[in-house]
Each structure stands twice: as structure tokens, then as C-alpha cells.
């Protein structure tokens, strides 16, 4: 069965009180829209159509970041969910198969749930995803007759009896494309909101002798984000699940509630993560590594046995080979750190390669930026970089070389060489004592002058 996803993402999200379109607010480092697309992607859809409106350019950009084949259609006026889906009709011309309608602001629908909806389509023209709501609030209510769905009534239009129903509409609907667009053509806007309700297709289908049913899921899956408080709830829900999944996979989280994970964080078995660690997007950690307290990682790879932190920062492009060590107050960006190499204290290593077993002393800086362009520093293996070395890129240091502490290295250092690049030291016998005495006399005469 071919599948097309239609993801509704045109709404402004007034209650977010934001310049950013609602679906671009992030949970676990990824836009809400990307989460929705990710859930649908598991069905291997033939087509993905995003209905954009407010902030359409930004929404299109985010959609294409996630999947460059996504088609964007514009709903310039938000006249209701049926009107929104209708905008996808021309993009789906020539498509034969099932359409699944998802909301861009509903990030947690599970692929397994969508699979169950597709399965239920075998015997039903329309399949709606419902849930038992703890607080049904303003959700649309699912009016059943036996196992069949008779109609969906929006809260605004519901009678007291209907409002007492706790089985609610998640908004996710599956239907054959041709049937869906035929039914939508018949939807009017004569209701309390004056909107074209997608939910009306159920009663319209039934009136044509077509069957409709409900597949239910856990309420947590249907969590939609309308306001910042719900964004925070969604984040919390994601984090709790992601931490539990990692621990299940054999990762130690010493204090799980203090570890922040991203949608794509991968951590191998027997890695230990200490308290207060942030994993931004794009981090992979192999097994048996240690990520020590208060470290911040994004877009980086940590190989097995490596130790990061405490208080380390790994930025995009940082790659630590096996058993490498990056210690406190060290920042690494776009740099390959070789096997067993050590950068233990107070350093910046950016746009660089550091060879195996090399030791980078405290306070070392790769001066990678000249104010206009970035340049590369290449440090070989078994090198000793003395403390407080400035490596002015582009520059290289050969294998088995050394730099003297405090050196400013501006030209390449060949293999096995010691580079000293600092003013020679001069000792003046007795001069310190004379200088002290002179300064004390000066201080005294200054004090007299003031009194
Ligand atoms: C909708 C359902 C309701 C369900 C609820 C679940 C309808 C009529 N009602 O109500 O039964 O319980 O979702 O959350 O479908 N959108 C557009 N264009 C539009 C209108 C909406 O893109 O013209 C998008 C919104 O940005 C949002 C989604 O569709 O992502 C749902 O719209 P919203 O207005 O939030 O619907 P609800 O009133 O919550
Ligand atoms: Ca809503």
C-alpha cells in the first residue's frame, strides 16, 4: 500500500506568543515538525506534503532539512483543518493510496500506532486515532455506535451529553486519497467556529455508506503543543522516555534527571554519564566512555574508552579516538583527537588534528581565526605541546616534536624537533631587592603628599 503523509503546519500558534512559527519550536533539539515527520517516515511514505502558512519559508526550510523530498503547499488563510488538507490535493494528483493526516505540532505519535491505523484501513474507509482523555477539555469528541465511529463533534458544537464523552479525537486520520478529497469537497463551514472541519468527513462518509472506525493510543502520544507550558511538558516527556531507553540499553546515568538528551543522541553500552551533562544534536558516544559532570557536547563523536570532562565542551566536528582525554575547561571544535591523546586542561583546539598519544599542555590555543578566515593546525603523533603554546594556524607540528612552554608557533615544526619561540630569559642579580626598595620609597612619599 502506498502512503502519503499530509502534515498540517499552517497555524500561527497564537498562544505560543512568538515570532517563530509554532511547529519550529524545538523539543530535544529538533523542531516539532521534524518529530512529526520522523514518526511518519517509519511508514516509508511515497509522498510527504507539508501544509504551511504562517512563516512558510522557515517551515519549508525546516521540512527540507528533515527530508528534501517533502513538498510544501501554502494555505494562505487558515479556514480550518479540512481546508488545510484540501491544499494538498494538487500535490497528490496521480497518487493512489492512503493519506495519513498528521499535525506538525504533535510530536509523539508512534510509528507502531500509525501501523495499526493502516491495518484498520483494511475494513474501514476512514480510520481516526482516538484516545481516552483524562481531561477532555476542548478536544473533538468521538461519537461511537458499537465499534463504528458515527461522527466527530467539535467541543464548540457539542451538546452536554456529547461533551461528557471522554473518547477524544487526536486529529490523526487515515483514508484513501481519492475518497478523502471527495469527502472534503462536501465539507461546509456552517458550525460554531465557521471553519471547514476535517472531522466532518466521518459523518459524510457514513452518509455515503462508508465505514469509519477508531484506533486508540495512549494520551501521551497525542500531546499537542499550543503554548510554551505544553512545549516544556513535551520536552519533559521526551527526556524521561529517552533517559529510560538509554538506561535500558546499558548506559549509566548517575542522576538521570540532570542529563539533557537530544532527539538523536546515541550512547553505547557501559558508558557512564555523570550529573549535569548536555547532549545537543548529533552526538554519538561509543561503549565504555566516560562523560564527566557539567560537560556540553554537540555534533561530535566520542570513541570507546575516551574520557570527557568534567567541564568540557565538545563542539560540532569534534572527534575523539579511543582512549582520548579531554579535561576541564577544554573546548574542542572541528578537530580529530587521536588515540590516547590528552588535552587535559584549559585549552582551545579548533580546526585541528592531534595525533595519537600526543599531550597538549595546559592553556594551549590553536589560533585558528585571523579575523576573516579559519585555518588548520596539524599536530602529529607522540608530540609534547608545552603549556601555554599558541599555535598560529595554518601551522603544523611533526611527529615526536616538542614545543617549549609559552611558545608562539608561527612556522611549521619538523618531526623530532624542539621549537622554542619566546624571548630568552635574562636574570639581573640583586635587581629585585633594589626595585622593591624604590617602590616602597615612592609609596611612602605619595602617602605624605596626600595627608
Ligand atoms: C483539532 C480537531 C479536534 C481534535 C484536536 C486535537 C478539527 C476541526 N478539530 O482541533 O477534533 O480533538 O485537533 O488536537 O480538526 N491547521 C492548519 N490550517 C488550518 C487549521 C489548522 O494548518 O486552517 C493546523 C494547525 O496549525 C494545527 C492543526 O492543524 O497544527 C490543528 O488545528 P487546531 O486549530 O489546533 O485544531 P483544534 O481546534 O485543536
Ligand atoms: Ca490544537
Q: Which atom of ligand 1 is nearest to the CA of 77?
A: 23
- What digits encode the pLDDT tens for the residues 333-350? 999 999 999 999 999 999
Same domain, 115 and 147: yes
Using the atom order of ligand 1, give the atom closest to the CA of residue 200.
8
Q: How far apart are the C-alpha atoms of 451 and 448, rounded to whole Å? A: 5
Residues 369 and 314 in one domain: yes
pLDDT digits (tens, 9 = 90+) for 279-292: 999 999 999 999 99
End position of a domain, from candidates 185, 205, 222? 222
Which cell numbers hold the place of 396?
603544523
Q: Which atom of ligand 1 is nearest to the CA of 103?
A: 30
For residues 234 and 112, state if they share a domain. no
Main-chain phi, psi angles of 26, to 5 degrees: -105, 145
* Number of structural domains in the chain: 2
pLDDT tens-digit series, residues 227-246:
999 999 999 999 999 999 99
If one residue of 153, 171, 230, 231 were mutated to test the ligand 1 pocket, choosing by the most ligand atoms within 8 A of its CB, it would be 171
Q: Please state the φ and ψ torsions of residue 357, each to the nearest 5 degrees.
A: 60, 10
- Residue 186 placed within a domain: yes
Domain boundary among 170, 187, 222: 222
- In this structure, the answer to whether residues 157 and 240 fall within a common structural domain is no
Is pLDDT above 80 for 450?
no
State in Å: Cα 450 to ligand 1 middle.
Answer: 77
Do 68 and 203 fall within a single domain?
A: yes
Same domain, yes or no, for 287 and 353? Answer: yes
Together in a domain, 176 and 250:
no
| Percent of the residues in the chain that have a pLDDT greater than 90, as a whole number | 98
Q: Is the pTM of this model over 0.85?
A: yes
Q: Looking at the structure, tell me whether residues 197 and 319 fall in a common domain.
A: no
Give residue 451's pLDDT: 67
* Cα–ligand 1 centroid distance for 230 (angstroms): 16
Interatomic CA distance for residues 238 and 107, integer angstroms: 10
Say how far apart CA 75 and CA 91 lie, in whole Å.
Answer: 13
Cα 314 to middle of ligand 1, angstroms: 40
Q: Are residues 311 and 215 in the same domain?
A: no
| Nearest ligand 1 atom to alpha carbon 12 | 26
Residue with cell 469527502: 183
Residues 365-374 pLDDT 10s: 999 999 999 9
370 falls within a domain: yes
Q: Is the CB of 128 under 6 A from ligand 1?
A: no
Domain range for 383: 228-419
- Using the predicted structure, report yes or no on whether residue 449 has a pLDDT greater than 90: no
Q: How far is the CA of 8 from the centre of ligand 2 (A)?
A: 11
Q: What percent of the chain has pLDDT over 70?
A: 100
What pLDDT is attached to residue 1?
Answer: 84
Please give the full DSSP string across 59-92, using - where no structure is assigned. HHHHHHHH-TT-EEEE-SS---HHHHHHTTTGGG
Residue 436 falls inside a structural domain? no
Query: What confidence tier does 405 reach under pLDDT thresholds 50, 70, 90?
Result: very high
Domain boundary among 181, 196, 222: 222
Please write the tens of the pLDDT for every residue from 145-185. Answer: 999 999 999 999 999 999 999 999 999 999 999 999 999 99
Separation of alpha carbons 279 and 291, rounded Å: 10
Residues 215 and 261 in one domain: no
In-domain check, residue 435: no
Task: Give the tens place of pLDDT for each residue, 419-447.
Answer: 999 999 999 999 999 999 999 999 999 99
Q: What angle do CA 223, 224, 225 make, to 5 degrees?
A: 125
Q: Is 72 left (phi over 0), alpha (psi -120 to 50) or beta?
A: beta
In a domain, 433, yes or no: no
> What mean pLDDT is predicted for residues 212-228?
97
pLDDT range class, residue 12, cuts 50, 70, 90: confident
Whether 206 and 254 share a structural domain:
no
Residue 440 within any structural domain of the chain: no
Whether 349 is in a domain gets the answer yes
Ligand 1 site, residue 340, Cβ cutoff 6 A: no
Which residues participate in catalysis according to the annotation?
A: 345
Q: Report the CATH number that the domain containing residue 243 is assigned in CATH.
A: 2.160.10.10
Query: In this structure, what CATH number is given to the domain that contains residue 164?
Result: 3.90.550.10
Q: Is 364:343 a contact under the CB 8 Å cutoff?
A: yes
Q: Is position 441 within any domain?
A: no
Which residue lies with its CA nearest to atom 26 of ligand 1?
A: 11
| 183 and 233 part of one domain | no
Dist. CA 403–CA 373, nearest whole Å? 25
Amino acid at each position: 500500500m502506498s502512503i502519503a503523509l499530509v502534515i498540517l503546519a499552517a497555524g500561527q500558534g497564537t498562544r505560543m506568543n512568538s515570532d517563530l512559527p509554532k511547529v519550529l519550536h524545538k523539543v530535544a533539539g529538533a523542531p516539532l515538525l521534524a518529530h512529526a515527520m520522523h514518526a511518519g517516515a517509519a511508514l516509508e511514505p511515497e509522498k510527504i506534503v507539508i501544509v504551511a502558512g504562517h512563516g512558510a519559508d522557515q517551515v519549508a526550510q525546516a521540512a527540507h532539512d528533515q527530508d528534501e523530498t517533502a513538498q510544501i503547499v501554502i494555505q494562505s488563510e487558515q479556514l480550518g483543518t479540512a481546508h488545510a488538507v484540501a491544499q494538498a490535493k494538487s500535490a497528490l494528483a496521480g497518487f493512489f493510496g492512503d493519506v495519513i493526516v498528521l499535525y506538525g505540532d504533535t510530536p509523539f505519535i508512534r510509528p507502531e500506532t500509525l501501523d495499526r491505523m493502516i491495518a484498520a484501513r483494511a475494513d474501514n474507509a476512514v480510520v481516526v486515532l482516538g484516545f481516552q482523555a483524562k481531561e477532555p477539555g476542548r478536544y473533538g469528541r468521538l461519537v461511537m455506535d458499537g465499534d463504528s465511529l458515527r461522527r466527530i463533534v467539535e467541543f464548540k458544537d457539542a451538546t452536554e451529553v456529547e461533551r461528557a464523552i471522554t473518547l477524544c479525537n487526536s486529529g490523526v486520520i487515515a483514508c484513501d486519497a481519492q475518497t478523502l478529497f471527495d469527502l472534503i469537497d462536501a465539507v461546509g463551514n456552517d458550525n460554531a467556529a465557521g471553519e471547514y472541519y476535517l472531522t466532518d468527513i466521518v459523518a459524510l462518509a457514513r452518509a455515503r455508506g462508508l465505514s469509519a472506525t477508531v484506533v486508540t493510543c495512549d494520551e501521551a502520544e497525542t500531546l499537542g503543543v499550543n503554548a510554551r507550558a505544553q512545549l516544556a511538558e513535551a520536552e519533559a516527556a521526551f527526556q524521561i522516555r529517552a533517559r529510560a531507553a538509554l538506561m535500558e540499553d546499558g548506559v549509566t546515568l548517575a542522576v538521570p534527571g540532570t542529563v539533557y538528551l537530544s532527539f538523536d543522541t546515541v550512547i553505547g553500552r557501559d558508558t557512564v554519564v555523570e550529573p549535569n551533562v548536555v547532549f545537543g544534536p548529533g552526538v554519538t558516544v561509543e561503549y565504555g566512555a566516560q562523560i564527566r559532570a557539567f560537560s556540553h557536547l554537540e555534533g561530535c563523536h566520542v570513541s570507546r574508552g575516551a574520557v570527557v570532562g568534567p567541564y568540557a565542551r565538545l563542539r560540532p566536528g569534534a572527534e575523539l579516538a579511543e582512549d582520548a582525554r579531554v579535561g576541564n575547561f577544554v573546548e574542542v571544535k572541528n578537530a580529530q583527537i587521536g588515540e590516547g591523546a590528552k588535552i587535559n586542561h584549559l585549552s582551545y583546539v579548533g580546526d585541528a588534528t592531534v595525533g595519537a598519544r600526543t599531550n597538549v599542555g595546559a592553556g594551549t590555543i590553536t589560533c585558528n581565526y585571523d579575523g576573516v578566515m579559519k585555518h588548520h593546525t596539524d599536530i602529529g603523533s607522540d608530540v609534547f605541546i608545552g603549556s601555554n603554546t599558541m599555535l598560529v594556524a595554518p601551522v603544523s607540528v611533526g611527529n615526536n616534536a616538542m614545543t617549549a612552554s609559552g611558545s608562539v608557533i608561527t612556522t611549521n615544526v619538523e618531526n623530532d624537533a624542539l621549537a622554542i619561540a619566546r624571548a630568552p630569559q635574562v636574570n639581573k642579580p640583586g635587581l629585585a631587592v633594589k626595585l622593591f626598595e624604590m617602590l616602597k620609597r615612592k609609596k611612602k612619599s605619595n602617602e605624605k603628599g596626600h595627608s
